[in-house]
Structure 1
């Protein structure tokens, strides 16, 4: 299994505020996928998508992406074919706000064991009652977080994982208030988290996998994008 990262260079055709940029970059990718019959089915399916994006960087100090400026959108996936599709079809593709002008691809390859995952974009766990802290306990949240990642891993690799996997030694929430992500005329509420990854083989496999698919849900909507530190 390999994690690929396409660093897509996008030129902004209009000023876009930071809180609206997730919807704009998501639409950019979606509008490419739906032009291809195979990836249209992929886009419309309820299956795991196995890719994750972050917000364009660098972020401007005033929170407004500037018309005429070029930023980098990172698209990661464990699906090499999907990354190749984006590389080929995003070039010169544009929406009202964005134009892709190229980019480069690399493979994510930690030099040593992963010691920490930290979220760049908010980790989302969707439910019917809103933000989780008022409704479920921390152990329940942690179980959902881990089970979600395990299910994605098993779906992609076909490898069975024991239920008692020890993924991390500690979790730290970086935000005092929930972080909002616009989604279909509502806001999803998530968290910026740090995970101290455990020193065992399965934890390391899952942590590496998370770099390519994200933590939590709505990863193809720019949620749960994580970076890492290694020992």
Structure 2
């Protein structure tokens, strides 16, 4: 198993506060997709987009990313054609907030992991409301497993029902829910440390979470994961 990672170097044209970063980056990526017929087609479809991106690095301690400074973000996906298409399109894309300076791509071979943790908030909608850490932890475990298995079914074209629990243990890292801005509203998410079972399907599920994002709204920059290897 492998996935593709784009390292995108950017210069900021204006200051951006941390809770606006994912929205501004998604605007950049969405604009780039208009330059490619295939990317444009998947942008319009209401389904899992199967890519995810992180925020900006290096992190600013005062939570404000500065005009004129250089930053990096990373985008991941499992489809080489999508990765190459993004690379070519992003080279020609700028917004009011970003000038794209360079886009590099690398192929990453998946190795077994013992733990994943998301560095951008992961979003789960439970009966139309965001999951928060005062709710039952079993609800979010079920959501994580179900969401990841649905992505596996889409990727592999499977019709059969998949049921599995990849989670050996889970910990909510934030004391209160994390809010980010999007189109004048707030999206509420959480950060998790998840210990992964060793069996093959659990490892496949971890691979999907790492390469395409944990839970929902990954194409808006939510659920970007890092990992600890076995």
TM value normalised by structure 1:
0.93
| 1:37 counterpart = 2:47 | no
Q: Aligned partners of 1:61, 1:144: CA distance in 2, in Å?
A: 32
Q: Aligned equivalents of 1:156 and 1:225: distance in 2? A: 19
> In the alignment, is the contact (CA less than 8 A) between 1:174 and 1:194 conserved in 2?
yes
Distance 2:125 2:183 in 1: 14
Q: 1:104 to 1:35 in 2, by over 3 A?
A: closer
Query: Are 1:118 and 1:193, in contact at CA under 8 Å, matched by a contact in 2?
Result: yes
Residue in structure 2 matched with residue 157 of structure 1 by the alignment: 156
Query: Unpaired segments of 5 or more residues in structure 1?
Result: none
Partners of 1:171 and 1:122 lie apart in 2 by 15
Map 1:214-229 → 2, pairs under 5 A: 214-229=213-228
Contact 1:131-1:178 within 8 A present in 2 as well: no
1:144, distance to aligned residue in structure 2 (A): 1.5
Q: Secondary structure at the match of 2:4?
A: strand
How far off its partner does 1:164 sit? Answer: 3.7
- The answer as to whether partners of 1:129 and 1:135 remain within 8 angstroms in 2 is no
Instruction: Please name the residue that 1:51 is paired with.
Output: 51
Specify the alignment match of 1:85 in structure 2. Answer: 85
2:138 alignment counterpart? 139
2:10 aligns with: 10
Deviation at 1:103, TM superposition (A): 2.6
Contact 1:52 1:214 in 2 (8 A): yes
2:107 aligns with 107
Give the TM-score of the pair, scaled to structure 2.
Answer: 0.93
Give the 3 Å change call, closer, same or farther, for CA 159–205 of structure 1 in structure 2.
farther
Q: How many residues align?
A: 230
Cα shift readout 1:166-221 (whole Å, capped 9, x = no counterpart): 30200000001001121222111111001000010100111112111101100000
